[in-house]
Structure 1
């Protein structure tokens, strides 16, 4: 396809600037987002084995609930019954006492069980919160601000992301046929990175369009519904389903959890209930929401759909979030969430999204590499012999931010297993940001070439901490052999980082001396080089 040269040049400039402005944040979002494809297995991997007695049967659950509410009256306001217990859900019953100072909506969660003699057991040590941190990093593109501040910024980055997709496609169109399967590996490293960037971008284009569009919807979710309400009237249809409860009359006896599960399965045969969420509805009467999944449909939340259920009769009364029972509007909204979360199609789709997420992170990394080298070439053509301070800083950030993210997530994952219930969300956040900021600062001080080698090694060592933590914790930690995949993937990523360190070292020693990635004449940030030597990147 033939396009005017000036049009292609303009779109190339747009693609480069938009990419460099959003690429570092998008790397964090895609890398953390790839890990959230297996958020529940990660949480189970990082969580210590339950310290409570085995969960009582569903038939004995009413006894557990009665004893827990008698000892802890605050639980009556709202509690959950977990139909499947494991390290991530260590007890049949749990409830959370909210902390108004916790901006992440957390608090103290209590877990209850019955001892062999029937006595009540209550503990507050639950599953690790490291998976929640990774999810927040994904949602907020790594920004350490409150959710209300981070989400609009994330929306702006998503809009830049969409512009980068369109402009990149326009730039690639003139050479689409000749460069479609081109991957020229040789002495021209910049050409090799460009080919790899183009191939990754083109073949994952539908995935990136989906991510960009759905991210904008998530970021401006409230604004969209406010506009809808102003234009058409009515409240928000996208909120969580209200927990169904009769509004009048004395409360009749509620069904037992076992009866609720049986009634839901009768009405929705393909739906597998996972959690019963009890609360208070109209007039303070008992209310119930059932969370679960149906492999035939995508769901609204990352791993479950939900329905409002009458706790007295077991009848499903709210289906806006219920897979297979939604109206057209609700099903359309759910499709946005399902496409973003990859929660349809089972393990095959989750692995595909995991690999596409890692490839997306690598796409932004290579894009930044190319932009920095292109900027340096323009500086040389303009007569600048020395690398400018701006180029050095951009090069250092291109190395420090991605590798700091990788190292920070790896170390805080390992800490989750070693510290167990002693590691709070705040502690995990502190570990991550300490490693992230340290790596970024190190890159700025050492320069892109040296830091590229050193931080790749740091990332590999941090990644190896994950299987090392498993060895220290011992085999008794696992509640499923499949969780060993966490350690296996960490080993593979560590090997990839070691290979990256070797390649970066070779590039620093033998590459063009005028390159941003060359260590042969690199000086501190902003300082002039000793011996100007021109050369092509």
Structure 2
């Protein structure tokens, strides 16, 4: 297919500048998004072990709910009954004394309730790990702090990046059309490293194009959903309410008259055959409109939540109020909305699809990283024969340093926060605040190091740091098993062990990348931004030989 050269130049400029403007922020978003695919296993890895809680019979579940509501009035506002429990959620009933807002509260405490050996209520207040929420916030905001109105500033910036991202995708496809058939699977190696990076960039971009289109559009919708809803309210609904809670039986204000939890579970199973009831969120039990949101899971369906679909019930009469978020019974509009959520979050197909999204997320991060590297190389001033290497434009050196520092800094920061969850568990007064601090200290240090040392020197060093942090994750679990006196722990569940194994594999890849970056700095073209200063090249060569 032939495309006019002037049109190709326009699309090349559009692709380049939209990619550059959004690339670094989107790298963090994609890396964080890949990790959110396994947010729950990560939370289980960082959660300290608690006293084992035996599974409760249906009658005991009814008892613990009744006693929690009688002894702790704050639970009547909202509490969760967990029917599927893991290391990060060992108790059957949890609730908070404070109202949960949209922002992450690093000081938040949560109560856990169960029955002791004598059948009496045993409740304690704990500070749950928010590591999964911190990673999710990184995914949604790119790590940009601050708020604008009721929303994080980074969410809006990520929405703008999503618009630029979509333009970059469209323009990139137009650029590849003339040579798509011939060069699609080409991955040419040789002295021209720019050609290799461009081939890798193109192959990953085209192979994962449907995924990237879905992500770009859903990012825009999620970032500006309040504005979209406000517009719909004014244009379509007018004086009518867009959202309203379904009206059930008015709450009598006496929580002792709640339907038994076991009855609600049975009613949910009747309404959603083939689904597993995972949790029940009870809300506003003493208000005129009490409600219980039942989470149900089935990997064969596209669902609204990260792992569950939902149905709404009256907690007093056990009447089903709404099934629009239950896949087999949802209406057309709810199915469309669920598809947006599911396609963005990968909440369908079970664990194998989460691994697919994890791989797509990491490959997307590579797409933005390699795009910036290509921009830097394309604007390189070439060395003339028998002349000294030219001084590269300042803008290319700064973008190279920003790409290395911010992208690799976010990777090292997440690993540092994960390690801090265990190493600082005994000494940190507020572990969640320590995790946040650990991320930004490591991240900002990496950014400062990249700008101070320059991209060529910083790239292999920061890649080596990321690799070392990755190896330290399974090593920490091994130390916890061998030296329990240190006060750390190592869970033996499949999810927790998978975190260690995945970190080890990624560390191997990063170590390999560090070796390649060191080789490029030592023996690559002297006129490149990625070439180390001449005085340092022998030292890098010696370091590489020692590594070999």
What is the correspondence of 1:263-274 to structure 2 with a 5 Å cutoff? 263-274=267-278
Asked whether 1:437 is paired with 2:444, we answer: yes
Residue 264 to residue 479, structure 1, CA distance change in 2 (3 Å): farther
Asked whether 1:390 is paired with 2:382, we answer: no
TM-score when scaled to structure 2? Answer: 0.89
Cα shift at 1:284 = 4.0
> Which digits, 9 at most, give the CA deviation of each residue in 1:44-96, with x for residues without a partner?
12212223643533311232233333432222221111112221211011101
Check the 8 A contact 2:381/2:527 in 1, yes or no: no
What is the correspondence of 1:56-67 to structure 2 with a 5 Å cutoff? 56-67=56-67
Residue 242 to residue 192, structure 1, CA distance change in 2 (3 Å): same
Matched with 1:158 is 162
Matched with 1:343 is 347
Matched with 1:446 is 453
Among candidates 304, 310, 317, match of residue 313 of structure 1:
317
Asked whether 1:510 is paired with 2:523, we answer: yes
Which secondary structure state, in structure 2, belongs to the residue aligned with residue 345 of structure 1? Answer: coil
Matched with 1:11 is 11
- Measure the CA separation in 2 of the matches of 1:77 and 1:99: 8
Matched with 2:470 is 463
Matched with 1:489 is 502
Among candidates 291, 316, 329, match of residue 287 of structure 1:
291
Residue 129 to residue 244, structure 1, CA distance change in 2 (3 Å): farther
In structure 1, the gaps of 5 or more residues are 524-537
> Which digits, 9 at most, give the CA deviation of each residue in 1:420-441, with x for residues without a partner?
4855333211111111110011
- Measure the CA separation in 2 of the matches of 1:458 and 1:199: 28
In structure 2, the gaps of 5 or more residues are 483-488, 537-548
Which secondary structure state, in structure 2, belongs to the residue aligned with residue 299 of structure 1? Answer: coil
Residue 330 to residue 236, structure 1, CA distance change in 2 (3 Å): farther
Cα shift at 1:99 = 6.3
What is the correspondence of 1:118-267 to structure 2 with a 5 Å cutoff? 118-125=119-126, 127-146=128-147, 147-233=151-237, 242=245, 245-247=248-250, 253-267=257-271
> Which digits, 9 at most, give the CA deviation of each residue in 1:300-337, with x for residues without a partner?
12122211102233232112322221100011011001
Check the 8 A contact 1:417/1:473 in 2, yes or no: no
- Measure the CA separation in 2 of the matches of 1:250 and 1:446: 65
- Measure the CA separation in 1 of the matches of 2:204 and 2:261: 49
Check the 8 A contact 1:376/1:515 in 2, yes or no: yes
Cα RMSD over matched residues? 2.5
- Measure the CA separation in 2 of the matches of 1:424 and 1:236: 42
- Measure the CA separation in 2 of the matches of 1:333 and 1:102: 21
- Measure the CA separation in 1 of the matches of 2:289 and 2:235: 34
Check the 8 A contact 1:45/1:478 in 2, yes or no: yes
- Measure the CA separation in 1 of the matches of 2:251 and 2:201: 63
Decide which moves more: 92-101 or 41-50.
Answer: 92-101
Matched with 2:112 is 111
After superposing on structure 2, the runs of 4+ consecutive aligned residues of structure 1 that deviate more than 6 Å are: 99-102, 248-252
Q: How many aligned residue pairs are there? A: 519
Cα shift at 1:109 = 1.0
- Measure the CA separation in 2 of the matches of 1:164 and 1:377: 25
